[in-house]
């Protein structure tokens, strides 16, 4: 039987070989033509019975387009919340402003309002609603002021070392050096030696220029120059050159104009009184009686540093900073399972029964975590260690100082100053 199976297997393999080998029962030409034998295997198409439609082009393949995700009000494509500055509207009630927002087709889910002494504070939830509201308020000539969004705030750099140049000439020279500014101003001027020295304030779009790249330029007009970040002094305060009020700039102000010299309701550039330079060359007494502050009605210009309104504004800012600095953290509640049993004064006193293993019979009033810290009765307390309130105050001040720094050197100097303040009581 095994022999028979072997023979059967060999005969089957020979038949398979015959299918691929050429036939030998013809001429040489036939053998050459039949080297590549093609097997005709019958196939069938189940759709052959359907009629073909004439004139129809094949359907082109189209890319699959995923629709953009639906964003919530005030949310960006990256999933981060877009924060926009508030808009302070003057002379409008919340009802009037709500009707106005409805007329300009801004949904009620896109904003909130807060009543203030002078009007309404409009709080938009997104960038689109903020820009739409600002444009509509300005077009309708509604009095308001706002601030530049953080994403649009320029990088401001002070250029020093140059004499007074024409701004167009200086801008052309800077462009030749590869420095392209969005805005150029003459910041201040001062006579030093034989010529008048000046400070120039340069604005760059955010992220378009680095201070390190600017500092590689050592000379402008073949004059040695210095570059640094613009930093406002603690005694300085933002004052609008349009309405002369404090706390915002003229770029985002649509309040009624006020002159810095005479206090009248017109722009300072259109005032008939001479400017500061011409006034110094003439008799000051001739125009002294016409000078009036737009804020306090005193006999001085609105930008006078000794103005009572300016001093009051600085005092309010100092009070707010002091409140934030001295704000105490909320008291932490102790755990339910944590009960002080050592009988310290001011603590949670538990009175045990005389029997061993007895349960507590009375508990005094609960003590907060802040009160426990204030007792100072722990065995681990020492005069050489910071208290919790001192440590939290130090942490808040460190974060505030580091946030306002512009460079690593500023951060290191701030840390050294704070270390000396809290350790050596300087």
**3-state class of 389 per DSSP?**
helix
pLDDT value for 38: 55
Higher per-residue confidence, 390 vs 203: 203
User: 372-376 long-range contacts, Cβ below 8 Å, gap at least 24?
Assistant: 372/334, 372/340, 372/347, 375/344, 375/345, 375/346, 375/347
Which range in 156-160, 233-237, 282-286, 373-377 is most confidently predicted, on average pLDDT? 156-160
Average pLDDT of the chain is 75
302 touches 311 (CB < 8 A): no
Bridge partners of 363?
350
CB atoms within 10 A of CB 188: 12
pLDDT in tens, 63-93: 444 454 555 544 555 546 678 999 999 989 9
* DSSP label at residue 23: P
Q: Is the pLDDT of residue 180 over 80?
A: yes
Helix or strand run (H / E) with residue 202 = strand 195-204
Side-chain-side CA neighbours of residue 309 (13 Å): 16
pLDDT value for 366: 46
pLDDT value for 394: 77
pLDDT in tens, 141-169: 999 999 999 888 899 999 999 999 999 99
Q: How confident is the model at residue 290 (pLDDT cuts 50, 70, 90)?
A: confident
pLDDT in tens, 295-352: 999 989 999 989 999 999 999 988 888 888 887 565 544 554 444 444 444 444 444 4
User: Alpha-carbon distance 413 to 18, whole Å?
Assistant: 94
User: Alpha-carbon distance 12 to 6, whole Å?
Assistant: 10
Output b/e per residue, 156-175; b: 16+ Cβ within 10 A: bbbbebbeebeeeebbeebe
Fold of 154-229: Alpha-Beta Plaits (3.30.70)
Angle at 109 between CA 104 and CA 112, to 5 degrees: 85
381 touches 374 (CB < 8 A): no
Output b/e per residue, 358-375; b: 16+ Cβ within 10 A: eeeeeeeeebebeebeee
Closest CA to 339 of 307, 311, 315, 361: 361
pLDDT value for 409: 80
The mean-pLDDT minimum among 19-23, 267-271, 294-298 falls in 19-23
118 touches 90 (CB < 8 A): yes
Higher per-residue confidence, 336 vs 220: 220
Tokens of 343: 């009988």
Closest CA to 222 of 176, 184, 181: 176
Bridge partners of 204?
155
pLDDT in tens, 359-404: 444 444 444 444 544 444 444 445 566 677 777 777 888 888 787 7
The Cα-based distances of 235 to 225, 231, 251, 310 in angstroms read 27, 12, 22, 10
Beta strands per DSSP E along 273-399: 350-351, 362-363
What's the whole-model pTM score? 0.54
């Amino acid at each position: 039987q095994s022999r028979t199976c072997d023979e059967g297997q060999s005969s089957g393999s020979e038949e398979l070989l015959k299918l691929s080998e050429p036939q030998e029962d013809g001429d040489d030409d036939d053998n050459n033509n039949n080297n590549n034998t093609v097997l005709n295997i019958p196939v069938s198409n189940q759709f052959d019975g359907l009629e073909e439609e004439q004139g129809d082009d094949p359907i082109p393949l189209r890319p699959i387009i995923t629709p953009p995700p639906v964003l919530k009000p005030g949310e960006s494509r990256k999933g981060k919340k877009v924060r926009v500055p508030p808009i302070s509207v003057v002379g409008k009630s919340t009802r009037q402003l709500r009707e106005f927002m409805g007329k300009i087709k801004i949904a009620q889910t896109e904003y909130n309002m807060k009543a203030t002494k002078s009007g309404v504070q409009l709080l938009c939830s997104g960038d689109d609603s903020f820009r739409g509201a600002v444009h509509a308020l300005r077009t309708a000539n509604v009095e308001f002021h706002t601030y530049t969004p953080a994403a649009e705030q320029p990088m401001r750099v002070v250029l020093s070392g140059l004499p007074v140049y024409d701004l167009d000439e200086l801008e052309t020279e800077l462009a030749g050096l590869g420095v392209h500014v969005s805005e150029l101003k003459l910041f201040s001027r001062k006579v030093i030696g034989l010529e008048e020295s000046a400070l120039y304030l340069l604005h760059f779009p955010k992220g378009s220029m680095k201070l390190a790249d600017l500092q590689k330029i050592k000379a402008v007009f073949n004059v040695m120059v210095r570059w640094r970040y613009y930093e406002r002094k603690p005694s300085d305060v933002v004052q609008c050159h349009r309405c002369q009020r404090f706390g915002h700039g003229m770029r985002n102000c649509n309040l009624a104009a006020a002159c810095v010299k005479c206090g009248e309701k017109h722009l300072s550039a259109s005032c008939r009184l001479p400017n500061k330079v011409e006034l110094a060359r003439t008799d000051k007494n001739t125009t002294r009686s016409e000078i009036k502050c737009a804020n306090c009605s005193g006999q001085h210009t609105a930008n006078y540093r000794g103005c009572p309104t300016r001093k009051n504004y600085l005092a309010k800012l100092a009070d707010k900073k002091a409140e934030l600095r001295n704000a105490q953290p909320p008291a932490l509640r102790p755990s339910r399972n944590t009960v002080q049993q050592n009988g310290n004064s001011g603590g949670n006193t538990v009175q045990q029964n005389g029997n061993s293993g007895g349960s507590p019979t009375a508990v005094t009033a609960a003590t907060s975590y802040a009160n426990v810290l204030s007792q100072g009765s722990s065995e681990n307390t020492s005069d050489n260690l910071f208290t919790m309130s001192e440590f939290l105050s130090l942490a808040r001040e460190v974060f505030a100082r580091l946030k306002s720094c512009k460079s690593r050197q500023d951060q290191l100097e701030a840390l050294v100053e704070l270390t000396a303040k809290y350790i050596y009581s300087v």
